Amino acid sequence: MKRLRLGIFSCAILAMGIGLASCGGDSYHQKEERYVFVTFNSTLPYWQEAEAGFQDAGKWLGVKAEFSGPEKFSPEEELAAFQKAVSEKPSGILLSASHKEMFKDAIDGAIGQGIPVICIDSDAPNSKRVLFIGTDNHRAGMESGKRMGDLLKGKGNVVIVSIPGQDNLDERVRGANEALKKFPGIKVAQTIDDKGDPRIANDQISALLGAKNAKEKIDGIICLEASGGPGAAEALHRLDQTGKIPIVAFDKDPETLDFVQQGAIAATIAQKPYVMSYYGLKFLDDLHHNAVHEFKEWNTAPAAPIPTFVDTGTAVVDKSNLAAFREALAAHPKPL
C-alpha cells in the first residue's frame, strides 16, 4: 500500500514539474539565448511583417529576438549590421542577403565560429549558410511573366522593375523572361533598377512614359520587388494613365493592395515574410541546441541536419480574390 501511495505522490510531483516547465521553467533554453534578424529596408511593411513573425517565434520559444538593419536599401550598411551581430556572438542569425557575393565571407566566418546562419527571402547560395527559407523566386517570376502575358493577350512591350545583383530578384527576372518567351509577341523593352525605393520607380517610369522621343510604346510593367508596384502606380496616376497600362506587382504591402482595389495594379504576387521568419527562428533554435541527432554536431556535419530549402509559397492577388484575401490576413501588430 505504501508503494502505491509513493507512486501516486511521485506522479503528482512529476506532473507539477511538467506544469512548471510549460509555464516558463524551461531548462532547455537559457536566459542569455539571443537571436538576431538582419535585413535591409527595415521600415518597409514587408520587413515589419517578417519582424512580427520573428518576434512571435521568440515569444513562443522564450528566447530574445532582435531585429536590425538599415532603414533604406544599403548592402554596405546591412553588412556592417551583420558583422556587428556576429561580433556579439548570438545563438543564431537570420539574414536576408542583399548581395550574395558581398556576404559570402562574413557568413562563412560566422559559421566558422559556430554561429548558425539561415538566409530568408534573399539567399547567399555560394556561402556556408545552413538553410534558405523563402519563395521559389524563379517560379514566382514565371508567375509574374505569365500573368502579364495573359493581360496583354500575348502582344506588347514590357518594362521590368527590379534590383540587379540581389539573388532572389535576379531569379525572378530570369523566371519572368523565361515565361515571356512563350509569348513571342511580347518584348522586354527595358529593365529598371529602382534600388528598392518607390520614389525612384515613380521617377523612372514617369520619365520613360513621358519621354517625347521614346522609341517604343510601353504596354505593361512587371515589378519584381515590393517598392516598384506602388511607385509605378503613382507614376501612372500622375500621367493620368491609371488602369491603361497593366502593372503586375510583388508582395502584399497595404499600399499595394489598395492599388489593386483601385484598379491601378492588375495583380500582385504575395509572399509570406511572416512565415519565413517564424520558421527561420525555430530552425535556428534547433541548430543552436543540436536538436536533430542525425549527426553529432550541426557545424561539423557532412550534410545539413535540417532541410536546406523551404519554399514558403506565394499567392496571386487580384480584384477577384482581394476581399477574401484581406479578410483572411491576421492583423500583426507593428513591432516597436
Could you tell me if residue 24 is inside a domain? no
Cell numbers for 47 = 520587413
Whole-angstrom Cα distance, residue 236 to residue 256? 14
pLDDT in the model for residue 179: 98
List per-residue pLDDT tens for the chain, 336 residues long: 434 343 433 343 333 333 333 344 456 788 889 999 999 888 888 899 999 999 999 999 999 999 999 988 899 999 999 999 999 999 999 999 998 889 999 999 999 999 999 999 999 999 999 999 999 999 999 999 999 999 999 999 999 999 998 889 999 999 999 999 999 999 999 999 999 899 999 999 999 998 766 678 999 999 999 999 999 999 999 999 999 999 999 999 999 999 999 999 999 999 999 999 999 999 999 999 999 999 999 989 999 999 999 999 999 999 999 999 999 988 776 554
Are 170 and 293 within one domain?
no
Could you tell me if residue 160 is inside a domain? yes
pLDDT in the model for residue 334: 58
Q: Which residues are CB-contacts of 15 (< 8 A; sequence separation ≥ 6)? A: none
Parallel, antiparallel, or unpaired: how do β-strands 315-318 and 267-270 relate?
antiparallel
DSSP symbol at 125: T
pLDDT in the model for residue 30: 82
Could you tell me if residue 326 is inside a domain? no
Q: Which residues are CB-contacts of 89 (< 8 A; sequence separation ≥ 6)? A: 113, 115
Cell numbers for 127 = 556561402
Whole-angstrom Cα distance, residue 275 to residue 157? 35
Among candidate residues 270, 304, 325, the one where a domain is terminated: 270
* Run of H or E including 9: helix 2-22
CB 101 within 8 A of CB 115: no
pLDDT in the model for residue 3: 40
Could you tell me if residue 333 is inside a domain? no
Q: Which residues are CB-contacts of 70 (< 8 A; sequence separation ≥ 6)? A: 40, 41, 42, 77, 78, 81
Whole-angstrom Cα distance, residue 144 to residue 153? 14
Are 157 and 128 within one domain?
no
The domain of 96 spans 30-135+273-312
Q: Is 206 helix (H, G, I), strand (E, B) or coil?
A: helix
Give 93's strand partners. 36, 117
Alpha carbon distance, N-terminus to C-terminus of the chain: 59
Whole-angstrom Cα distance, residue 184 to residue 182? 6
Among candidate residues 270, 291, 326, the one where a domain is terminated: 270
pLDDT in the model for residue 213: 63
pLDDT in the model for residue 17: 39
**CATH number of the domain that residue 253 is part of:** 3.40.50.2300
Tell me how far the alpha carbon of residue 79 is from its chain's centroid.
17
Whole-angstrom Cα distance, residue 64 to residue 55? 8
Cell numbers for 120 = 530568408
Could you tell me if residue 21 is inside a domain? no
Could you tell me if residue 11 is inside a domain? no
Q: Which residues of 54-93 are buried (b: 16+ CB within 10 A; e: fewer)?
A: bbbbbeebebebbbebbeebbbeebbebbeebbeeebbbb
Give 190's strand partners. 159
Are 223 and 301 within one domain?
no
Whole-angstrom Cα distance, residue 233 to residue 259? 7
Are 164 and 262 within one domain?
yes
Could you tell me if residue 46 is inside a domain? yes
Are 262 and 208 within one domain?
yes
Could you tell me if residue 103 is inside a domain? yes
Closest CA to 283 of 301, 302, 305: 305
Q: Which residues are CB-contacts of 244 (< 8 A; sequence separation ≥ 6)? A: 236
CB atoms within 10 A of CB 221: 29
